[in-house]
Amino acid sequence: EFRLLLFRSAPAFGGEPIEILVPHLSSLQFLGGRATYLSDLEPAQYRFTPYLSVSWPWHRDRNVLGGPLQLRGATFAKGIGLHSQSELTWNLDGRYERFLANIGIDDAAQGRGSVVFRVLADGTQVFASETLRGNAPAFALPPLDVKGVKSLTLTVDFADWGDADDRADWCDALVVKKRE
C-alpha cells in the first residue's frame, strides 16, 4: 500500500500533513509555490498562419474549440488549446528553470488530426515532437531546461493532412521558478 504525504504549508512552519492512499489519487495540481501555469500568464505574442482562410484563436484552459482539454479520456483543468499553424510566446525574463507539459491532439478531433509540437527558448528549438496524430497516446515532455531564457514559444505545425482537425493541447503546461 502506497501513501502520499502532503503538507498544507511547510512542515517547518507547523504545516499539517495530509495523507492520501495513492490508488485514491486521480490527479495532483500545483496551486502555488515555484510552479506557474502558462495559462495563468499573459502571452507576449500570438501568431497564426491559416492553411486556407479559417482563423483560429488560442484558448486558455480550453481546447481550440472552447471545450474541455481532453487527451485520451483524461480531462485537464489547465493548459493551452492551439490549432496548427500557430505560435504563442511568453516573456520569461530569465525567472524560470524548467518547462513541463503533456501534449497531444484533443479528443474532440475524434482520432483525426496530425501536428508537430515545438518548444523554442529564445528562438532556439529545444524540443520537437514526432508527428503526433489524433489516435496517438498523449506525450509527457521531459522537463526542459529554460534557465536564463527570456522568451518561451510554443508552436504547433502542420503535419500529414494540412490543418484538418489539428486541435492541439498543451495540458498542464507550466514553468518552474528558480530557487531563491
CA dihedral 117, 122, 124, 128 (to 10 degrees): -20
Q: Which three cell numbers stand for residue 27?
A: 490527479
Instruction: Give the pLDDT confidence score for residue 2 in this predicted structure.
Output: 55
Average pLDDT, integer, range 19-25: 62
Residue 34: band (very low, low, confident or very high) from pLDDT cuts 50, 70, 90: confident
Query: Which residue has better confidence, 148 or 4?
Result: 148
Is 100 within 8 Å of 173 (Cβ atoms)? Answer: yes
Residue 11: band (very low, low, confident or very high) from pLDDT cuts 50, 70, 90: very low
pLDDT over 70 (residue 76): yes
Average pLDDT, integer, range 112-119: 97
Is 35 within 8 Å of 172 (Cβ atoms)? Answer: no
pLDDT over 60 (residue 137): yes
Q: CA-CA distance, 24 to 12, in Å (whole number)?
A: 27
Does the bond joining 110 to the residue before it have cis omega, within 30 degrees of 0? no
Residue 53: band (very low, low, confident or very high) from pLDDT cuts 50, 70, 90: confident
